[in-house]
Chains A and B, each alone.
Chain A
């Protein structure tokens, strides 16, 4: 039953996306910024593609909304903030840097540093031990 419902849902999505909304391109400069921004934003309907690549109707609406914001003089940060305020951090593929994501952003570099240190210490210790024996 769940499966059938899922099929129906996708049907609705497919057909409704075929119907009305279309992208309304703005100036070339706006389009370049839109492109850059929307490749870093998640389409919430088909959650695995970016806003840039999605054909979903909501994605088109949001692209048009972003065009309006850019044409209205908003900065990139303000556009992202506009969307985050409505849909949450989930909407951006670039996680914000804050206390919750410090481990995410800096963890790998700390790990690389520790890894290199451990390797050097181990190699040194090893050659000291092996060097002692003939």
Chain B
């Protein structure tokens, strides 16, 4: 009888353990199923010069980073200076202006500095859907064979850069 009476207590302890673990998880962050899969193909016009296009196929054989941003996105401002700083690493950074008014995006880059080698545009958000974007900024690290190795949801913080992105970059380049 005693042992049976302990069952509720034991179940409760298990529950508490999960709840405790849950406190340190972020329920809103959705891990991308695309990590470890080939980056979806796209060919998109380049910001400021619609006669030229940029495609992920152009980057075959290189480790590179795709940063999806927009001029209307406040959180994108937060990571802008860090992106500019990142030019010192051996990591080609390409931008994608997501559902943006072209002139607005050009103005932001002119005012705050342009961290991107090239900025492509995703006017109707179609590429965004393929990449599973649900809130800008989002950033993808893609390896030589075109596989997505890492996805950052929200602004990149110096800690993310130091602890996740740079070690991964080192590993991919070695």
Contact = CB atoms under 8 A, between A and B. Distances in A.
Is A–B contact present in the complex under a CB 8 A cutoff? yes
A45 interface: yes
Given A61-B125, A62-B129, A87-B134, A12 B72 contact: yes
B125 to A, nearest CB: 5
A58 B125 contact: yes
Interface stretch (B28-36, B42-50, B56-64): B28-36
B91 interface: no
Given A57-B99, A87-B30, A8 B125 contact: no
A62 B164 CA distance: 31
Interface in B55-75: 72-75
B72 A16 contact: yes
A9 interface: yes
Interface string A54-90: 0001100110010000000000000000001111101
Interface in A3-24: 5, 8-9, 11-12, 15-16, 20
B107 interface: no
B135 interface: yes
Range class of the B interface residue count: 20 to 34
A44 B134 contact: yes
A37 to B, nearest CB: 15
B42 to A, nearest CB: 13
Given A44-B134, A45-B134, A65-B129, A88 B32 contact: yes
A47 interface: yes
Given A85-B33, A88-B33, A9 B74 contact: yes
Contact of B74 (A5, A20, A86, A90): A5
Contact of A88 (B31, B126, B130): B31
B135 A45 contact: yes
B115 to A, nearest CB: 21
A12 B74 contact: yes
A101 to B, nearest CB: 16
B131 interface: yes
Interface of B: 28, 30-34, 72-75, 99, 124-126, 128-132, 134-135
Question: Which 3 A/B pairs are nearest by Cβ-Cβ distance?
Answer: A44-B134, A86-B132, A88-B33
29 contacts: A9-B74, A9-B75, A12-B72, A12-B73, A12-B74, A44-B30, A44-B134, A44-B135, A45-B134, A47-B28, A57-B125, A58-B134, A61-B124, A61-B125, A61-B128, A62-B129, A65-B129, A84-B33, A85-B33, A86-B131, A86-B132, A87-B30, A87-B33, A87-B132, A87-B134, A88-B31, A88-B32, A88-B33, A88-B132
